[in-house]
Homo-oligomer: A and B are copies of this chain.
Amino acid sequence: MVYAVDKPSQVPLVVLSGGGGGARLAAALSKCTAQRPVIVVTNIGDDFEHLGLLICPDTDSVLYATSGKLDRDRGWGREGESWQVLDAIQGMAGPSWFQLGDKDLALHLLRAEQLRKGCDLAGVTQVLSERLDVPEGMTVIPATEQSVRTRVVTEEGELAFQEYFVGRRCEPALRDVVYEGIGDASPSPSLLAALDACVDRPIDVVLGPSNPFLSLGPILGIPGMLSELRGRARRVVAVSPIIGGRALKGPAAKIMTELGLPASAPGWTQWLAKRYPGFVDTWVWDDADRGLVATLPDSYDVRVTATVMSEPGIGEGLADWLLEVCSVAP
């Protein structure tokens, strides 16, 4: 699969996404593909096998969100979802710990069918994008073809991601995160081909407001990923998932605290800057944290805007604002 660049004058936007925040941002940007083609690189660390089917929660969230099919209230899964199969599995004492919706299951069955046909993960995702009517100009690519599985080391021992996230609802205090298999992984060839197609023009990279440990870590930790992105990027922008000291959803703030980091926009900024030195150019915080900008050295290019995308119109506003920020080189 090669990323088609229709309008050579446009600088493509590459969005790194995991979880609900990234998916919402991708959805907002999917309205802007006439202005800027968008490549969404999705987190694969949450992927797992269930009932013999490969489930890719973060990739699927982006597919559902960008095709207008995400359940916006729940923030995951498909809208108008039903649970007939899960009920029947439960009725037969089968494994029902994972909330598998009927529409969602249909997608997993089609993914499995494409994989059996020999399609790679990027190819399958392309097929599913087409079947779901993801807008043209929006390309969704899982970060790698290799298996990377997030495992969390907690005070109660090591757990697989879904065990921790769904089974234990993120309750056990976290001590470390391990990305199993990441040493042998490499950036998706389809992603590199898409980036190569932009070789004459640099790209802009946006890190979605996603959990830095559970969502962005498995992407940025893939050997070569940082340099491939940074080497081609005009600007790298990171949107904070921490607003007013809390994560809108998910355990980002809880985990930062458990790891001894200040759960705040500045805390997030400084941790990311230290973890990935020289990677991010521009830091985006929510309006709520405007008062904290002065607490950071001037060397940080911090911008402030409305980022709470669960509120109406905010996602679209943030998308336009990001395009504006990215319209000039840093």
Binding site for B on A (CB under 8 A): 51-52, 82, 84-86, 88-89, 91-95, 102-103, 105-107, 109-110, 112-113, 116, 128, 131-132
Contact = CB atoms under 8 A, between A and B. Distances in A.
B105 A85 contact: yes
Nearest to A113: B51
Given A52-B113, A84-B84, 10 more contacts: A84-B102, A85-B85, A86-B106, A89-B110, A91-B106, A92-B106, A92-B107, A94-B109, A94-B113, A102-B102
A68 B51 CA distance: 26
Given A94-B113, A112-B51, A107 B131 contact: no
Contact of A109 (B89, B91, B102): B89
Tell me whether chain A's interface is mostly helix, strand or loop, or mixed.
helix
Contacts of A128: 92
A85 B113 contact: no
A109 B85 contact: yes
Given A52-B52, A52-B116, A103 B131 contact: no
A197 to B, nearest CB: 27
A103 B112 CA distance: 20
A92 B116 contact: no
Contacts of A102: 84-85, 88, 102
A46 to B, nearest CB: 21
B113 A88 contact: no
A112 B89 CA distance: 13
